[in-house]
Amino acid sequence: MTRFLMTLMTSALLTLGATTASAQTAPKPVIHVITVTWKTGTTPEQIKAALDGVKALPAAYKGITRVWVNSIKVQGGKANAFVMEFVDEAALKAYTDSPAQTEGYKTYLPIREESSPFEVRN
């Protein structure tokens, strides 16, 4: 009985150690939140085109897993917010100046008055 308990305890400790080690080496997603104020005179169609461009990003850039563009509540004078989930920090860094970002900026930058980006990860 004692030998069985020792074997069980050893197995549990090894499993816990393996789980902890794999959690430490797993990629950590990064959430990129952007709040936006549009330029005066920007039309709803232009805003839709810019947000549609954001929605298309996961197909254009493999480092983005999901996006959210339907703003429910935005404070601080901003008009919209959108969120991009990146696989990890390396994917976020590689996105800068990538073809996907450059293409998305074609509809976004001409109508953007001001934006505030935030990156968050666990």
Residue 85 placed within a domain:
yes
Task: Decide if pLDDT at 119 tops 60.
Answer: yes
Residue 4 placed within a domain:
no
CATH number, residue 88:
3.30.70.100
For 112, the domain range is: 30-121
The per-residue pLDDT for range 6-61, each reduced to its tens digit, is 554 555 555 555 555 555 677 799 999 999 999 999 999 999 999 999 999 999 99
Residue 24 placed within a domain:
no
Do residues 35 and 78 make contact, with C-beta atoms less than 8 angstroms apart?
yes
pLDDT for position 5: 43
Residue 52 placed within a domain:
yes
Both tokens of 71, joined, read: 């703003």
Residue 6 placed within a domain:
no
The total number of structural domains that make up the chain:
1
**What CA–CA distances, in Å, run from 83 to 62, 104, 118?**
16, 14, 9
Residue 3 placed within a domain:
no
Residue 101 placed within a domain:
yes
The per-residue pLDDT for range 61-117, each reduced to its tens digit, is 999 999 999 999 988 889 999 999 999 999 999 999 999 999 999 999 999 999 999
* Distance in angstroms (rounded) separating the CA atoms of residues 41 and 43: 6
* Distance in angstroms (rounded) separating the CA atoms of residues 1 and 21: 30
Helices (H), 26-113: 44-55, 57-60, 89-95, 99-108
Residue (of 43, 54, 34) closest to 100 by Cα position:
54
